[in-house]
Structure 1
Amino acid sequence: MSRLFGTDGVRGLANGLLTAELALQLAQAAAVVLGHDRNMNGNRPRAVVARDPRASGEFLAAAVEAGLSSSGIDVYDAGVLPTPAAAYLVADLDADFGVMISASHNPAPDNGIKFFARGGQKLPDEVEDAIEEQLAKEPYRPVGGEVGRIQRFADAEDRYIVHLLGTLPHRLEGIKVVVDCAHGAASGCSPQVFKTAGAEVIIIGAEPDGLNINDGVGSTHLSPLKAAVVAHGADLGIAHDGDADRCLAVDHEGNEVDGDQIMAILALALKEAGKLKDDVLVATVMSNLGLKLALREADITLRETGVGDRYVLEAMREGGFSLGGEQSGHVIFAEYATTGDGVLTGLQLAAQVALTGRPLKELATVMTKLPQVLINVKDVDRSRVNGDEAVAEAVAKAQVRLGDTGRVLLRPSGTEPVVRVMVEAADLETAQEVADGLADVVRTELALAFVAD
């Protein structure tokens, strides 16, 4: 049986893989593993439940809350909120665990369920495995006064907003910002936070109807944001994804500022303020080589991890580091959050524009992005990527050709049935040529064997 949990919880087509029955069973299993087994104070365990505005989130949240309360867990229903808000509220309420129902940047038909442990921390693999094992066992079914109760977490959004405002190094008066909420979970709180911080705010992508999340807007579709920033003469634009754990940005001319550039700007700012622990930034191997070169120039060490914000978080916790993230816009501030927080990141970035008086375009010149080509190779055997000699030889030859001015990364995707071939080089033509050649080798050497009927 394949592992149910992926790189970020359980995710799939709502009412396909992810049914109400599975949601209820996962909640019952989590109630034992995260609630009763880990509750030390003798009181009834408590859990925070939140969701993004997908239509399927309504029945999945109902199923999760039914599973938890029927297993003796008191549920605090926080309604529609960003994933990082759910993580923060678990810690703020001192709850035993939390549940977020979202498929992040995926289209509306998908959904997902992820769990947070006490303190708002993501679960390690062994705890997810324990939940999967518990699925095969009899649920805990208390009766009478021992069943859990469900109550509305009425001030959940207000608590999160107050928390975000308390992180600001500088208010945003004089800054005009366009905020694109991807018709997602941040549609209520993100514009409110920027307004309360003093910015003039233009809002797009903030009319969720349950079906339009991530549809042509947000961090995966930046064109509307670029157009709005230029049309309104804004200083910058901020784009979230559906659950607002990501932030990408646009400068006043409509140029994209990706997660690597955002991390470079913020790392230098934290170092200047004496808040960058050991002068280290944690990022994944997918970050652009230009980030490493820029950090080296600033005497900041780049600590690299595998792909996925959970691995960034693990490295940050192990080293006690201040800042980490991914090129995709997951940025983690250890002082303020236990996961990527797109609203927090956007606030901190806008604050640097206000504090320095420098345009975002100028701030982003701290690093020069090397041309990067990414090819997703389908219909190949991902399991053989790291053991195939011909593939390894092709990668080695490509790296020799690129020398110190580029690099190759070839890996199986953790979220899609593809092998990712990424090449960076001093110029786009070379990067494309090398990537195409490697992709051809992968297709040839790792081709799936199809058996005729």
Structure 2
Amino acid sequence: MTRKFFGTDGIRGLTNSAPMTAETALKVGQAAGAHFLRGDHRHRVVIGKDTRLSGYMMESAMVAGFTSVGMDVVLLGPMPTPAVAMLTRSMRADLGVMISASHNPFADNGIKLFGPDGYKLSDEDELAIEARLEQEPELARPELIGRAKRIDDARGRYIHFAKATFPEQLRLDGLKVVVDCANGAAYHVAPEALWELGAEVIPLGVKPNGTNINDKVGSTYPQVMQETVVGSGAHIGLALDGDADRLIVVDETGTTIDGDQLMALIALDQKRRGTLRGGGLVATVMSNLGLERKLAAEGLELHRTTVGDRYVLEGMREKGCNVGGEQSGHIILADHATTGDGLVAGLQVLAALVEAGKPASELLRQFEPVPQLLRNVRFKGGAPLETDRVKQVIAEAERDLDGNGRLVIRKSGTEPLIRVMAESDDAAQVEAVVARICDAVASV
């Protein structure tokens, strides 16, 4: 069955344009609610959102959808995606929903769904929900219509959970930390958790107004955090994205540290403690070859998956690994969470920093990255990767890199972009290969 709504990470698009409309949100609520009406208990769905202006509209539409098929709704308000996953399990809910477009601009929005176990839905569940979207919903009898309730202590519950992942014998006293919350879902919980653990906190991106989420702040725009870390003399900076499931770190010199280095740090730290499982970690095809070489030198294996944290998690469950993630900063720590959690990952980095007693610039440089270049090419429509000219250029590039590097080309699952990535020990070769392919795609 061809997917019409779900992409690599739920449903996403420009708000008030198909598919990201209030009508779609209502129908998704009805379809997902009906799909998870199993058993004779009173059914419950947990709904969180980030700070986008459109979140009010989408939330209200989904409440109408879920209650109309007989599901009770628990509203969390602005909360990180991993908090929704955690609270879905904690509250014994049948379903969890996060209304967010992650790192996208405020005009976009999205719907992410979690099953009762706190994991993102399988392909089978998503396809079943899509099938229901094409059918008339079975509405509940009037006396069985669901109720909606907003809980006030969701923030405190998540802060308590996040702090519990930090070694209890450690504190962050004496550590100055800049935390950039992207004017997004973690604007209240992340600074509070760090402060409660003893850090001196310099918060950025904590004044959301509905339209400034990810606007020159957060993990996709770390420049302000870099300047603030250096200017304030901070020991480290942590940048989250709009829904706080992604982490990018800046060391005390203002240098950005990506997810590959963070995964290496956490995995090797766990290996030292004897808590690493699966003989390595799981990452995507986009992770740097340097990470693979570093792990191999330590007797560990890098298991690669297609792009998307849900596929990383599937790989982790298959291989028995408890550490995985993406270069972009989605770090999944299966001992603590069922999805990427930027704050929890950041706390593990801070714990390693406190224990090592070294500057972040030294501790976080776990391996020398192989020259790698990623460029995005926007396209207007059609299938540029299926044209003869683009296929020919890609084949030539693969021959050039054979034995010396890697080439990864894929269509974005959330935007009309072709992502072109190449890596090799020869930086000039990488630049030339990516430029040729991007030019070919752009000319279609």
TM-score range, shorter chain: over 0.9
Q: 1:107-151, CA deviations, whole angstroms, 9 ceiling, x for partnerless residues?
A: 011101111011111011111111111112222222343111111
Contact preservation (8 Å) 2:71, 2:145: yes
Letter in 2 for 1:369: P
2:24 & 2:97 partners in 1: Cα distance?
Answer: 14
1:389 & 1:16 partners in 2: Cα distance?
Answer: 33
Judged with a 3 Å threshold, the aligned counterparts in structure 2 of structure 1 residues 221 and 392 are, in CA distance, closer, same or farther, namely closer
Q: Percent identity?
A: 47
The aligned counterpart of 1:451 is: none
For residues 26-37 of structure 1, the aligned pairs below 5 Å read: 26-34=28-36, 36=37
**Further displaced range: 267-276 or 133-142:** 133-142
Shift of 1:158: 1.2
1:375 & 1:343 partners in 2: Cα distance?
Answer: 28
2:126 to 128, 141, 151: 128
2:244 & 2:384 partners in 1: Cα distance?
Answer: 30
Contact preservation (8 Å) 1:53, 1:184: yes
Give the TM-score of the pair, scaled to structure 2.
Answer: 0.95
Letter in 2 for 1:357: G
Shift of 1:87: 0.5
Q: 1:373-427, CA deviations, whole angstroms, 9 ceiling, x for partnerless residues?
A: 1232344724527997624531332213xx34x3222233323333322111224
Contact preservation (8 Å) 1:398, 1:408: no
Residue ranges of structure 2 left out of the alignment (5+ in a row): none
For residues 246-261 of structure 1, the aligned pairs below 5 Å read: 246-261=246-261
Q: 1:5-58, CA deviations, whole angstroms, 9 ceiling, x for partnerless residues?
A: 111111111111211111111100111112x1xx33x21111100000111001
For residues 54-133 of structure 1, the aligned pairs below 5 Å read: 54-133=52-131
Contact preservation (8 Å) 2:218, 2:242: yes
Shift of 1:235: 0.6
**Further displaced range: 213-222 or 153-162:** 153-162
Q: How many residues align?
A: 438
Residue ranges of structure 1 left out of the alignment (5+ in a row): 448-453
**Further displaced range: 321-330 or 275-284:** 275-284
The aligned counterpart of 1:311 is: 311
Contact preservation (8 Å) 1:391, 1:442: no
2:437 & 2:57 partners in 1: Cα distance?
Answer: 45
The aligned counterpart of 1:180 is: 180
**Further displaced range: 371-380 or 184-193:** 371-380
Contact preservation (8 Å) 2:163, 2:197: yes
Q: Secondary structure at the match of 1:423?
A: strand
Q: Secondary structure at the match of 2:117?
A: helix
Contact preservation (8 Å) 1:385, 1:411: no
Does 1:8 find its partner at 2:9?
Answer: yes
Letter in 1 for 2:243: D
The aligned counterpart of 2:48 is: 50
Does 1:370 find its partner at 2:342?
Answer: no
Contact preservation (8 Å) 1:385, 1:391: no
2:23 & 2:343 partners in 1: Cα distance?
Answer: 33
Does 1:416 find its partner at 2:415?
Answer: yes
Contact preservation (8 Å) 2:80, 2:186: yes
For residues 199-238 of structure 1, the aligned pairs below 5 Å read: 199-238=199-238
Shift of 1:429: 2.5
The aligned counterpart of 2:345 is: 345
Judged with a 3 Å threshold, the aligned counterparts in structure 2 of structure 1 residues 84 and 382 are, in CA distance, closer, same or farther, namely farther
Contact preservation (8 Å) 2:394, 2:437: no
Contact preservation (8 Å) 2:401, 2:424: no
Judged with a 3 Å threshold, the aligned counterparts in structure 2 of structure 1 residues 285 and 270 are, in CA distance, closer, same or farther, namely same
1:241 & 1:103 partners in 2: Cα distance?
Answer: 10
Judged with a 3 Å threshold, the aligned counterparts in structure 2 of structure 1 residues 418 and 14 are, in CA distance, closer, same or farther, namely closer
Does 1:146 find its partner at 2:144?
Answer: yes
Q: Secondary structure at the match of 2:56?
A: helix
Contact preservation (8 Å) 1:394, 1:438: no
**Further displaced range: 412-421 or 62-71:** 412-421
1:142 & 1:102 partners in 2: Cα distance?
Answer: 28
Give the TM-score of the pair, scaled to structure 1.
Answer: 0.93
Q: 1:138-176, CA deviations, whole angstroms, 9 ceiling, x for partnerless residues?
A: 222223431111111222111111111111123222211
Q: Secondary structure at the match of 1:190?
A: helix
Q: Secondary structure at the match of 2:215?
A: coil
The aligned counterpart of 2:244 is: 244
